[in-house]
């Protein structure tokens, strides 16, 4: 399964908005529509779609925190019908490679609801470690490339 990342543009934003997580995951992540709206008011947020062939299978919103320059994965999701097929890990690895190259960074942060055990397991499988910090109600994780 070959995964490509494409910027969300006028040509593919509707596909991004149509991607939904499973109903029992909706409390863990804002909708892609909300993420796209935020990116229009916070220019440091970039939105991308993950593609398997010509089909969008996932979405991310990432950015460089303007206060401290740290790179964050603000949102990461795989569409409901693509979950459980290995796309989460493949897309996350592709995103990490993309962010490392784009920002020439050595660490990446994300936060995740403590109840979202499936996401935590997947993030840990690609190298993220729990920092012990809490942001809002979410646990903060960090990946060091060094």
The predicted-structure confidence for 68-121, as pLDDT tens digits, reads as follows: 999 999 999 999 999 999 999 999 999 999 999 999 999 999 999 999 999 999
Residue 49 to residue 42: CA distance in whole angstroms:
18
In terms of Cβ atoms closer than 10 Å to its own Cβ (0-12, 13-18, 19+), residue 1 is exposed
Instruction: Please say if the pLDDT value at position 12 is more than 90.
Output: yes
Q: Distance (Å, rounded) from C-alpha 146 to C-alpha 123? A: 17
Residue 55 located in a structural domain: yes
Residue 40, in any domain of the structure? yes
Whether 126 maps to a domain, the answer reads no
Residue 145 confidence (pLDDT): 87
Binned at pLDDT 50, 70 and 90, residue 59 comes out as: very high
Overall number of domains in the chain: 1
Q: Taking 90 as the threshold, does the pLDDT of residue 24 lie above it?
A: no
The CATH code of the domain that includes 45 is: 3.40.630.30
* Token duo for residue 72: 């964050």
Answer whether residue 12 is part of any domain: yes
Instruction: Please give the model's pTM, rounded to 2 decimal places.
Output: 0.93
- Residue 118 covered by a domain: no
Domain for residue 120, yes or no? no
* The predicted structure's pLDDT at residue 62: 97
Which residues share a beta bridge with 142? Answer: 109, 129
Band of pLDDT at residue 27, cut at 50, 70 and 90: confident
pLDDT exceeds cutoff 80 at 146: no
- 129 is a domain residue: no
User: In the predicted model, is pLDDT for residue 1 greater than 80?
Assistant: no
Task: Give the integer Cα–Cα distance in Å for 33 and 19.
Answer: 10
Average the pLDDT over 26-33 and give the result.
90
Residues with catalytic roles = 123
The verdict on residue 7 lying in a domain is yes
d(CA 129, CA 139): 10
Mean pLDDT, all residues of the chain: 94
| Residue ranges making up the domain that contains 54 | 3-109
């Amino acid at each position: 399964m070959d995964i490509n990342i494409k910027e969300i543009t006028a040509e593919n934003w509707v596909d991004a908005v149509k991607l939904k997580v499973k109903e029992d995951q909706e409390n863990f992540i804002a909708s892609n529509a909300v993420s796209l709206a935020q990116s229009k008011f916070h220019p440091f947020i970039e939105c991308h779609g993950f593609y398997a062939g010509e089909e969008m299978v996932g979405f991310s919103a990432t950015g460089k925190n303007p206060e401290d320059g740290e790179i964050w994965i603000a949102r990461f999701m795989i569409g409901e019908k693509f979950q459980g097929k290995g796309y989460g890990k493949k897309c996350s690895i592709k995103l990490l490679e993309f962010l490392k190259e784009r920002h020439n960074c050595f660490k990446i942060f994300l936060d995740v609801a403590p109840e979202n055990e499936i996401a935590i397991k997947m993030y840990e499988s690609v190298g993220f470690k729990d920092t012990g910090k809490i942001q809002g109600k979410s646990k903060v994780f960090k990946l060091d490339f060094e």
